[in-house]
Amino acid sequence: MADLLVSLGMQEGTRNIHEGQGTSNRRFFFANCALELLWVHDSVEANNGPGRDMLLSKRSVESTASPFGIILQRTDNSIIEIPFNGWNYQPDYFSPPRAFHIGENSNKLVEPLCIYAPFIEPDNSTQTPDEGIFKFISSIRVYTPSDPLSDVLLIANSADRLSIEQGPQHLIEITFDDHKSKCSKDLRPDIPLIIYW
């Protein structure tokens, strides 16, 4: 699936294997956000490691589960409060105290995982692509069949450039570069993603 994004002109960054989490990824960086494709390569590790309560293995096989995760970060160094209720996730691949905060809706499979990364400094999380046509993300719209939306999603919905809405199916729409080129591409059924640029 990541090769499809590469074929459209997105610039791929480094790939990771998440030890203890049972997942691998491919990542695409933009000036203000990143897009990550993550999959479970070791379900035993995913089900028994410190990230087991994210239910990644279940999410990867259940057709009604959301295939999405949203990672939020600080936009201001003076704001250090955790934005939503949840639990601390100390992955094996991070040294303490560097850890994620996982939204308490993580057991509600129909909803996207909501993750807060307090250790990421403002304006220091992405890389501006040197080449390619996709420079920055203008907006992200996430659709979920969840009804009603959990408090975690309602709080995440207030993040800059992010909109979370009820919809008949799991889908993300991403607008790049203010849609200046007036182009779009529906990547379904390969990826539940529509992009505009």
| pLDDT tens-digit series, residues 62-107 | 999 999 999 999 888 767 789 999 999 999 999 999 999 999 999 9
- Kindly state the tokens that stand for 157: 């919905």
Strands in 171-176's sheet, in edge-to-edge order, are 162-166, 137-144, 171-176, 193-196, 184-186
∠ CA 57-97-51, nearest 5°, is 10
Q: pTM score, two decimals? A: 0.92
The DSSP secondary structure of 48-105, one letter per residue, reads HSTTGGG-HHHHHH-TTS---EEEEE-S-TT--S-SS-EEEE--TTS-TT--EEEEGG
Average pLDDT over residues 161-188: 98
Q: Where are the domains of the chain?
A: 2-196
- Kindly state the tokens that stand for 65: 């589960």
Predicted confidence at residue 82, as pLDDT, reads 93
- Kindly state the tokens that stand for 18: 């998440």
